[in-house]
Amino acid sequence: ERMGIRVLVLASLLNVALGFSSTPLPSLRQASARTPAHASSKSLRMALSPPPGRKGFFTGIKESLQYIFDGDAFIKKRVEEFGPVFSAKIFFLPTVVVGGADNVEEFLSKEGAVMESSLPPALQKLFTEDNLLLQSGERHAATKKVVSRLIDAEAMKTFLPTIERRAEEHVAGVASRGETALAKEFTSWNLQLFAELFGGCQLTEEEEELFVTYNAGLFALAEWEPSFKKAERARQTLERSFAARFKAMKEDGSISEPKNYCYRMMMEHGKEMDGTPYSDLRVGFGITTMIWGAYVESASLMSSAVIQTASRPEVVNRIRAEAAALASDGGGFRGSMSDWNLPYVNGVLRECLRTAPPAGGGFRKSHKVINVGGFDIPAGTVVTADPRPGNLDEGTFLEAESFAPERWVSEEELGPSKCPMSRVVAGARSLPTGAWFPGGTGVHKCPGVPLAELVSRAMIVNWVDKLDEWTPTTKLDYIVPSPIKIPKDTFEMSVTPRAASPGVGGSEL
């Protein structure tokens, strides 16, 4: 869902140029016209209760630009002004933002009315009808079942040795250089890692560039734009490349090798709606999409973890202490999936996702009037369930502005170390969906969050083990506009290797 923002940003600027910035929410008259003729006068009055929001001719311009350049601040200010459910012009489209645990839960109960994607036609064509994001009903369920096979517990168990090895190699390289272009290097590293996990190979320079070209095409406004045509060709080239690999491994028997796990799962479980097996090209599309959909979000999370821990030595020491049990006799960090279940380290990652979420909510369009939080949302309105209002809700997270990984750890796991936050988490790890949804909500939520957390746990454990300090040497600026919050390529840090690093070297799992 987050990917639609890439195109909507430029669509917003086009709307400014064409003078469409004052497009209003569908009128209350339109909403009441959809009310059944037999409705009582009382129910009719209740239907005329739109979400609050700012008015004015230039509101669309102001709100859209504010959201594009600092979405976190925009959401926080509007929640303070109107509450967690409000109307706004986001990307110059009439939009209702839904936040807060109870409101999001209510919204999800009516999700069937807001299943239609609000993505522009050009982006939908670039995604293709095989993309999970654009599907619904039985087809969506069938595709999601196949995707789940690629990222379930068995898949992650297969991926783990590669993740451990690659994370160790990357941090060792950073330590030897004494510096890092943090997000730039994490982005490239994640792209190569997910190519290895899903595609069974490291990308060539040409293939890595094709992924970058494909990603850049998501800003295209129309099919005739050069960036769209380049992106479509890039995607098709990648599909054919992975399809050819799939065909070759079926012929030579290498599909049974552990590195080709995802190809094997797609061969065994991938079926079209009529029951026919996925074609080679359909498998190629699936592998391409899995890599593309994972690498930026994962790079964002681990970048945030490194930045958040840079000035928190007490957090770093807790990570080191918890990860010590993973240090193998031969050096390095090796273990089973249960060994990598590090509650405090995962608490660090979840605090990063909570206090500095990588993205807002997905954008979908309602096709009928729905009522959420006591407000009427007219048909044709873009609706987004945004995690940010709930993330800073004091009723859910005690001292919500504080960075406290302990809130995600039970008292039993904390041991003798107690924290005022720990009483919240009893519930924090079992929070309702409406209170905690870092990967989106409903049937279109991202199923890859557990994998992203595993990859980030491996990276941050190696990072604090091999490095003593990491300090910004350039200004921390984030890429704008971008649907994913991630530092610019120019952001750099100096690092100091740790004198006594118990996790050097490595042994096989």
Q: How do residues 475-494 score in pLDDT, each as one tens digit?
A: 999 988 777 899 999 999 99
**Among candidate residues 248, 277, 439, the one with its CA nearest the CA of residue 360:** 439
In the beta sheet, which residues pair with residue 179?
494
pTM given for the model:
0.84
pLDDT of res. 13: 44
Q: pLDDT grade, residue 115 (50/70/90)?
A: low
Asked if residue 205 has pLDDT above 80, the reply is: yes
One-letter identity of residue 507: S
What's the rounded Cα separation, in Å, for the pair 73 and 442? 25
Domains observed in the chain: 49-497 (1.10.630.10)
End-to-end CA distance of the chain: 36
In the beta sheet, which residues pair with residue 494?
179, 471
**488 neighbors 183 (Cβ within 8 angstroms):** yes
Sign of CA dihedral 421, 357, 119, 62: positive
Q: Is 446 annotated as a binding residue?
A: yes
What's the rounded Cα separation, in Å, for the pair 416 and 429? 20
Tokens of 266: 């797609």
pLDDT of res. 501: 59
What's the rounded Cα separation, in Å, for the pair 167 and 463? 9
Asked if residue 196 has pLDDT above 90, the reply is: yes
Helices (H), 128-221: 137-151, 153-177, 182-199, 205-216
pLDDT of res. 10: 45
Section 120-124 average pLDDT: 81
Asked if residue 246 has pLDDT above 50, the reply is: yes
